[in-house]
Structure 1
Amino acid sequence: MLWDDYAGAWSRLHGGFDPRQANFLVRGWVRIAYAVGSWLGRHRVGPMAVTTAGLLICFLVPASVLLLDRPGVFLAAVLVLAAALADGLDGAVAVLTGRTTRLGYVYDSVADRLGELAWLAAFWLAGAPGWLVVTAGAASWLQEYARARATAAGMSEIGVVTVAERPTRVLVTIFGLLAAFAYAPLITAATAVWLALAAVAGLQLLLAIRRALR
């Protein structure tokens, strides 16, 4: 599949957001996913296998913190990066191999939420207060749930690109764990940043839903 064909298919699966018109970082990442996804497709690696691999890596994140203590915090950051790469590749493989399915879409969404739950569990194991971790997770889950229900009610799939989309949560997790590796109490600050961004994102999404469905 040529790049333009892939970009068009990718756009249709992401609420009409065209990666060819995105900023340098987003466009570059989608091109990398296209190249690696093409290689995986040629070697008959299916999209669900990639999603499952990413989810298993996510489960290793809190395990590394629990079993390895402080060195495990650094390893956890590396594992989150690997999981994020896998998360970006499963959709590319699905498009490039013509294996996009509704079941795969649901599985990918569930895997994303479970993966984020594992990351937040690592925050807690690294020393963040339990109440703050739970609140941050609930805020993110509420955002995704509200978007899903609004989409079912007729809003376009994305509605609005908020300040706390999944790529942002990935970055907060990676840099939060790296900061905690350098100075343990910073994990609480990272959790607070996650919560603050989720709160702003919730307001952005609420306004977009109101405009789209009223």
Structure 2
Amino acid sequence: MTWDEYAVAWSGLHGGFDPRRASPVVRGWVRTAYTTGFWLSRNRVSPMTVTTCGLLICLGVPAAVPLSLLLAAALVLLAAAADGLDGAVAVVSGRVTRTGFVYDSVADRVGEAAWLAAFWLAGAPGWLVTLAGSVSWLHEYVRARAVAAGMSEIGVVTVGERPTRALIAGLGLVLLALIDLPWLPPTLWAALQFAGLAQLSVTVHRALR
């Protein structure tokens, strides 16, 4: 499968969003996933295997906090890399399934809960961590219900998407290794989720009215 063929297939699974016309960062991220996913597919690694490995890495993040915040941050970044690869392997190998789609979504939410638990173990207030997690869950729930009601799959790429959460989780743990401000990462997480939810709500209203 060529890059152009992959981009078309990827676009079809993401509400028509063409990665070839995206920003350099997004385009580079998707193209890297394509290259790595192609290699994994050639070595007969299944999409489910990649998803499961990413989930297990996420679950290791809170366990790593007592040992090293930098190790926990490295695991977040590794899990984020795996997150983009399962879909790439599925597209390249022609193994896109509805079961895999659901499993991937559930794994994402469980993984994010593990990242937030790491903030709590690092000293962040429990109520703040719970708020951050609740708003990000609501972000995904609103999109899922809107899609069920007829909106295209993405609707809009908000400032609160999963890559943003991964970035805050990874860099947030690095920050906590340097300065004692445990409330800061979950506050940034929650703020961007509220902003993303507002963006998404406007799009949903326009798409479904």
TM-score bracket relative to the smaller structure: over 0.9
Question: Equivalents in 2 of 1:137, 1:99: separation in Å?
Answer: 31
Aligned match of 2:205 in 198, 206, 210? 210
Show CA shifts across 1:10-32 (max 9, x none).
11111111011011111111111
Q: Residue 178 of structure 1: CA displacement?
A: 0.5
What is aligned with 2:50? Answer: 50
Can you give the 5+ residue segments of structure 1 that lack an aligned partner in the other structure? Answer: none
Which residue identity does 2:48 align to in structure 1? M
Show CA shifts across 1:44-69 (max 9, x none).
00000000000000000000113x1x
What is aligned with 2:188? Answer: 193
What is aligned with 2:107? Answer: 111
Equivalent pairs counted in the alignment come to 209
3-state SS of the aligned residue for 1:44? coil
8 Å CA contact retained: 1:54, 1:86:
yes
Show CA shifts across 1:75-126 (max 9, x none).
0100000000000000000000000000000000000000000000000000
What is aligned with 2:22? Answer: 22
Question: Equivalents in 2 of 1:27, 1:208: separation in Å?
Answer: 23
Question: Equivalents in 1 of 2:29, 2:191: separation in Å?
Answer: 26
1:153 and 2:154 matched: no
Q: Residue 184 of structure 1: CA displacement?
A: 2.5
What is aligned with 2:83? Answer: 87
3-state SS of the aligned residue for 2:65? helix
What is aligned with 1:4? Answer: 4
Which residue identity does 2:61 align to in structure 1? V
Question: Equivalents in 1 of 2:2, 2:80: separation in Å?
Answer: 24
Question: Equivalents in 1 of 2:180, 2:43: separation in Å?
Answer: 42
Question: Equivalents in 2 of 1:204, 1:19: separation in Å?
Answer: 20
8 Å CA contact retained: 1:14, 1:158:
yes
3-state SS of the aligned residue for 1:184? coil
For normalisation by structure 1, the TM-score amounts to 0.96
Can you give the 5+ residue segments of structure 2 that lack an aligned partner in the other structure? Answer: none
Aligned match of 1:167 in 159, 163, 166? 163
Identity of aligned residues (%): 65
Which residue identity does 1:184 align to in structure 2? D
Which residue identity does 1:25 align to in structure 2? V
Show CA shifts across 1:139-197 (max 9, x none).
00011001000100001111111111111111111111100000122x31111010111
For normalisation by structure 2, the TM-score amounts to 0.98
What is aligned with 2:137? Answer: 141
Q: Which runs of structure 1 show a deviation greater than 3 angstroms over 4 or more consecutive aligned residues?
A: none
Q: CA RMSD for the aligned pairs?
A: 0.7
